[in-house]
Amino acid sequence: MTNVFVYGTLRMGGRNDSFLEGAECIYSQCRVRGKLLNTDKDYPVMQPDNSSWVFGELYSVTDSQMKTIDVLEGYEDGRSDNLYHKITTPVWNESGEECRAVVFTAARSINYSTHSISSGDWCVNKYIKRDKLLYFAYGSCLDDERFRSAGADHFFKHVFGSGVLNGFEFRFSVKTNDGGKADIVENKAEDVEGKVYEIPAEALEYLYRREGVYNRIYRPAIVLVSIAGVLYQALTFIGIKKTVETAPTSLYATEIMRGGNDCFSNHYKEKLTRKLDRFHEG
């Protein structure tokens, strides 16, 4: 078995994700050091670069699958005109844990590159070009009071449904001067519940500012959210620098519980209440 990090068309929902059918997804949100570039061939390429990140998914694949991926990526051992280089590099998950994996970096494919992708995430880059997007809120954006006070509530009128993000855990692991803020961390034994809004592309600027994307507090990510048993791609935001959980302010906790009242299951409400009570007891 071989670990392989994928960042383009092999990712979940990508046009070549069938090449990874049956492969174990170790992490659906992880990163390597590199610079991501778009191409005029509708796939991305990356170059090693210690000053930036490329985000993707980590899989464990069989030897047979690895050979098939080699062919897809235009790679052959010893050939001088490969489309990609095949290297082994460190991969980090969202909690900072490290492993090593194969990744394909630009060789001849660099000739097709057009511009860099500042987010480092090809799925985000493609998804936010839509006129309408699904946005998965699991923290204070569940509540509409701050939407109204910011004059942005018109962006969030359409609630698409109650969503469940499988394989992630809710934590207050983004530490700020104003208490702990909501975050999600991969954990196959846990689920995160929230609200899925259908929003126009014009709402992105408000969300990016509110979530501190420009200040590198959160980063945008695309996740698969289950709504009434059907999986949908949705935009969400994940904390970049994670810490030990920190107690949220009472106002922030109120916003989450009030906003989630009509979309959380009773089980999830009880679990969040117990978490908040433990902070109070501490």
Q: How far is CA 59 from the centre of its chain?
A: 16
Calpha distance 128→151 (Å, rounded): 22
In degrees and rounded to multiples of 5, residue 5 shows phi and psi of -95, 125
How far CA 282 is from CA of 190, 205, 247, 276, in Å, comes to 24, 37, 9, 10
Active centre residues (catalytic): 211
Tokens of 179: 């208490």
Which residues, other chains included, contact 99 with Cβ-Cβ below 8 Å and sequence gap of 6+?
A: 3, 26, 58, 90, 91
Question: Are the C-beta atoms of 138 and 192 separated by less than 8 Å?
Answer: yes
Q: How long, in residues, is the chain?
A: 282
Task: Please return the burial class of 171, using the count of CB atoms within 10 Å of its CB with bins 0-12, 13-18 and 19+.
Answer: buried
Give the residue ranges of DSSP H helices in the chain: 63-72, 122-127, 145-149, 204-210, 250-259, 266-281
For residue 65, what are the CA distances in angstroms to 23, 50, 91, 100? 8, 29, 20, 18
